[in-house]
Structure 1
Amino acid sequence: MAQVRYFAAAREAAGVAEEPRSERTLGELRAALSAAHPALGGILPKCAVLVGGVRVEDDTPLNAEDLIDVLPPFAGG
């Protein structure tokens, strides 16, 4: 199963630091994460979601070995 890691506010909203997921595309994963973690649904559209360190489209297929990072917008500088 693909492994999803949550950072900062996304981690707080999901209530977990990481979890395995079996959705077949990034779009399916986004929908499933919003359903599984309602608090995450409010910020997920603003988050960068990286598959293997790269931003990809929602129709991108996911593989069992994928590492997916959910990164909310960060402020500062």
Structure 2
Amino acid sequence: MAVVRFFAGAAEAAGTATATLDAACIGDLRSLLGERHGAGFSLILSRCSLLVNGIRAADDEVPLSALDTIDVLPPFAGG
């Protein structure tokens, strides 16, 4: 199972810093996370960047394997 790491507001909305999921691609991962954590989390997730093994995954068709680490990063502000 792939490891999903949540950061900042995404971790707060998920109620956890990590999870494990079996998903074939980023689109499946988004759906599974929405089912698991609810509509409020799905809204936050829609604004997040996803990194697969440190590489941005902008396309829902990006494949996933059980060895992948996915980081869920909400938008950051600052200056």
**Percent identical:** 51
1:61 Cα deviation from its structure 2 partner: 1.0
In structure 2, the residue matched to 1:46 is 47
Unaligned runs of 5+ in 2: none
Instruction: Name the TM-score, length of structure 2 as normaliser.
Output: 0.93
Q: How many residues align?
A: 77
Instruction: Name the TM-score, length of structure 1 as normaliser.
Output: 0.95
Unaligned runs of 5+ in 1: none
CA RMSD of aligned residues (A): 0.8
In structure 1, the residue matched to 2:64 is 62
Render the CA deviation track for 1:3-36: whole Å, top value 9, x for unaligned. 0000000000001110110011110000111111
Instruction: Measure, in 1, the Cα distance between the counterparts of 2:46 and 2:28.
Output: 14
Render the CA deviation track for 1:44-67: whole Å, top value 9, x for unaligned. 111001101111211011011100
1:42 Cα deviation from its structure 2 partner: 1.3
